[in-house]
Structure 1
Amino acid sequence: MKKKKKLSKKKPEAPVIFANQPFRNLDILFRNAVTETEQSVPEGNTPVDKNDDEFFFEAMRDVQEIRAFREIKVPARPAASISKRMKNLNEGRAELEGIVNGKQQIRLSDTQEYVEWVNPLYGREIVRELHQGRYAVQDSIDLHGFILGQAEEALRTFLAEARRRGFRCVKIVHGRGLRSPNGPVLKHAVTALLSSRYRKRIIGFSTARSNDGGLGALYVLLA
């Protein structure tokens, strides 16, 4: 009978020791840092999380006011009175309701079709008075149905005759061109001629009153 061989125990290998051990003392440093932190907090003062306001006031604790800034005068912006705005709003609403109901006329001078012109030698007040009907109309011409060339010739003859007869205020009916595909062609032509070719013979012109042709006619004041 064979004898069992005894297993020989190997000696434990010695641990390998590296020459470069940068983290050898890391645990010691960490324990020391924790100890110092605990010692730096006084007893009874447990650190509390701060909100944004507390951080802000702590950061601004040493900030000092520059008193010279108190002397700088900032102009106050005048605030429109609420009552005044309401008054204007109510007046505008009442005026609009009056126009819709036919109780009040539209001011032609507030429309885009209104036209006026005054010779630079005279004051602008003249055309305002002209539009208001302060000057009596002594003669008139209606250019409806005229083609452009015919209208120019008729206008030239009309103005020459009015000057010969000593008239001061005349009316020219040009229409509004609402049915024309090209718009108020006659109106543009008449106002252009009066303010250029015939400007030396004219003091001014303006849109007629609502009951006298309105936006489709002109009052012309001759020099």
Structure 2
Amino acid sequence: MPSKSKALKSLAELKGVQKTLAERREREAAEAAVRAAAEKKRAAEQDLFSRAIGATQPLRRRPAVPLAPEPPAPLPVQKQLDEQRVLRESLSDEFDVTTLLDADDAMSFRRPGIHTDVTRKLRAGEWSIQREIDLHGMRSDEAREALGEFIREAGKLGVRCVRVVHGKGLGSPGRQPVLKAKVQRWLIQKSETLAFVQAKPAEGGAGALVVLLTPSPRR
């Protein structure tokens, strides 16, 4: 009897395994059928789209040309050198200003056509001094270039009235105001200079000039 019971149990287990396998196969078959139906539907939709748009051709691709990055703009070194050279050549130390200066109590200059009221108002301080440069102690070539750059920048900014400090020349050989005379020559040679007068004692006196510049052109 024990052997027969054991055999029946094994047979029941075998049938259970077979049933499980059968169920799995049915489930897999059902899933495969669902996938096949979905694929068939997708293919039908794709075919419908292809028939709707008709024949197509792939777009031609133009050959791409690799572009090198734009090089940085070169530094205008030569232009700067040219400007410095022109500045040195345009301001002469030999320029004779004796006939252009008004020989009054305080040396002054005004361009032809500029009324004497302009120099009078400059002396009286009716023009506000907007910028100042101190050339005192510089070598002649340094002072000339510094003054030229200062005048150019003042013109760009629309500055009308400036003070140029050149010193009284007490430290020069023979205690002669060498730089003072040169600054007067340089300023007269600059087209931007309309007039200048010796500064008031409180503003530098014989060691400085108050300069009126031409108005900058409107843009």
Q: Please, what TM-score do these two structures have when normalized by structure 1?
A: 0.48
